[in-house]
């Protein structure tokens, strides 16, 4: 699922950019930029924009929202530096880039979780235990790396049992397909679907085996959100209107999803196949229930622990517990005096109750 291992350089460059772009205090404003990137669970934003739905909701709240399509890592860099006000990203990347850079951030929409979009693929009928001592290609320190770590752990193995080969997200599929000597790769859709077409390649583990651990979120700068809640209201209104269209059957839904597929460079058939491995929260009420449940807290601990193990949370964090994460109901895991990541369901509740 969309990521690239440049965390070290991102933190170095972004911390400089943060000083230049981030205001010490957010302020009331009426014009916002929101970044998105290609992914099955995020392509609906393109439809929201092109259909006029996003603009309608923005006007309702007296704001202007410019949706900006960017490469995934570039979008998070722009968010972290303050060039955009909100951005779609995974829970892990939110921790390792903006939060690690000192940008307090809030998830205002829980869009989906990966339910098979991320996978470990092999040649020669290898199993997870067979990976001991072998090379595994992936984007280092990405959710692919996390997926491999979880798969090894569930097989009573250690990360050090395999040799990780770092490959860029743009090269990983063609490099594996063209080189039959490569035996194992970890990546995300649509690259998984592409590689699976290669004869002799099999899937031995995917994100459906760790449900809810790879979350896809709409993150908003917490300072910006505090002074401009109408931004989150407009985003939620637009998002769940689109979800309502997608969850119905018929020409309107197919036309909408065809636009989403085109935005991601896929056919409608391919896009629908990608959605089958994406656990979308089509109803705001379902997203609220999950965000307020116990499972998400345990999953965030796992992700946070992985990030700390690989020193991805920044120099200021001396232990995994040193970083606080808040959830609905006033629940906090980690240091309550250093809460940098918030899950806020209040705007989704307004959507669920038709109060937007």
Q: What is the pLDDT of residues 271-284, one digit of tens each?
A: 999 999 999 999 99
Q: Which two tokens stand for residue 347?
A: 């705007």
pLDDT higher than 90, residue 11 = no
Please state the rounded mean pLDDT for residues 3-7. 47
d(CA 216, CA 13): 24
Please state the rounded mean pLDDT for residues 203-219. 98
Q: Which two tokens stand for residue 320?
A: 């995994």
Please state the rounded mean pLDDT for residues 67-93. 96
Residue 290 burial (CB count, 10 A): 18
The rounded Cα 277 to chain-centroid distance in angstroms is 14
Please state the rounded mean pLDDT for residues 188-217. 96
Please state the rounded mean pLDDT for residues 5-23. 46
pLDDT for the residue 16: 47
Could you read off the pLDDT of 286-318 as tens digits, one per residue?
999 999 999 999 999 999 999 999 999 998 899
Lowest mean pLDDT among 26-35, 76-85, 266-275, 343-352: 26-35
Q: What is the DSSP string of 103-169?
A: --EEEEEEEEEESSSEEEEESTT--TGGGTT-EEEE-TTSHHHHHHHHHHHHTT--GGGSEEEE--T
Please state the rounded mean pLDDT for residues 49-68. 98
pLDDT higher than 90, residue 15 = no
pLDDT for the residue 249: 86
By the 8 A CB rule, do 305 and 148 touch?
Answer: no
Percent of the chain with pLDDT over 90: 90
Could you read off the pLDDT of 98-145 as tens digits, one per residue?
999 999 999 999 999 999 999 999 999 999 999 999 999 999 999 999
pLDDT higher at 133 or 4: 133
Domains and CATH numbers, the chain: 7-113+213-352 (3.40.190.10), 118-209 (3.40.190.10)
Length of the chain, in residues: 356
Band of pLDDT at residue 25, cut at 50, 70 and 90: low
Average pLDDT, the chain: 93
pLDDT for the residue 27: 75
Q: How far from each other are the two terminal CA atoms of the chain, in whole angstroms?
A: 31
Please state the rounded mean pLDDT for residues 60-70. 98
**245: Cβ–Cβ under 8 A, 6 or more apart, which residues?**
252, 253, 256
Q: What is the DSSP string of 255-313?
A: HHHHHHHHHTT--HHHHHHHHHTEEE--SHHHHHHHHTSHHHHHHHHHHHHHHHHTT-S
Percent of the chain with pLDDT over 70: 93
Band of pLDDT at residue 14, cut at 50, 70 and 90: very low
pLDDT higher at 28 or 33: 33
Could you read off the pLDDT of 31-47 as tens digits, one per residue?
999 999 999 999 999 99
Could you read off the pLDDT of 239-287 as tens digits, one per residue?
999 999 999 989 999 999 999 999 999 999 999 999 999 999 999 999 9
d(CA 86, CA 17): 16
């Amino acid at each position: 699922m969309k990521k690239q291992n440049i965390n070290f350089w991102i933190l170095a460059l972004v911390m400089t950019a943060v000083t230049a772009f981030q205001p010490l205090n957010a302020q009331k404003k009426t014009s916002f930029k929101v970044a998105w990137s290609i992914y099955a669970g995020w392509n609906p934003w393109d439809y929201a924009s092109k259909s006029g739905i996003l603009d309608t909701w923005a006007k309702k709240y007296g704001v202007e929202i410019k949706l900006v399509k960017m490469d995934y890592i570039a979008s998070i860099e722009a968010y972290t530096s303050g060039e955009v006000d909100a951005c779609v990203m995974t829970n892990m990347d939110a921790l390792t880039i903006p939060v690690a850079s000192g940008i307090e951030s809030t998830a205002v929409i829980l869009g989906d979780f990966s339910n098979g979009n991320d996978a470990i693929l092999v040649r020669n009928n290898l199993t997870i235990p067979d990976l001991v001592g072998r090379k595994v290609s992936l984007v280092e320190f990405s959710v692919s790396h996390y997926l491999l770590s979880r798969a090894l752990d569930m097989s009573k193995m250690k990360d050090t049992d395999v040799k990780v080969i770092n490959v860029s997200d743009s090269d990983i599929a063609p490099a594996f397909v063209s080189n039959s000597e490569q035996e194992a790769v970890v990546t995300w859709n649509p690259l998984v679907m592409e590689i699976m077409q290669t004869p002799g390649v099999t899937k031995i583990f995917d994100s459906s085996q760790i449900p809810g651990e790879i979350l896809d979120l709409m993150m908003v700068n917490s300072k910006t959100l505090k002074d401009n809640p109408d931004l989150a209201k407009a985003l939620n209104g637009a998002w769940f209107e689109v979800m309502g269209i997608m969850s119905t059957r018929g020409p309107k839904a197919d036309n909408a999803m065809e636009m989403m597929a085109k935005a991601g460079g896929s056919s409608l058939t391919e896009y629908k196949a990608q959605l089958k491995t994406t656990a979308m929260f089509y109803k705001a009420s379902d997203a609220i229930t999950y965000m307020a449940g116990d499972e998400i807290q345990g999953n965030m601990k796992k992700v946070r622990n992985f990030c700390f193990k690989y020193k991805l949370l920044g120099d200021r964090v001396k232990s995994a517990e040193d970083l606080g994460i808040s959830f609905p109901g006033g629940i906090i895991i980690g240091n309550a005096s250093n809460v940098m990541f918030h899950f806020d369901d209040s705007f989704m509740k307004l959507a669920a109750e038709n109060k937007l």
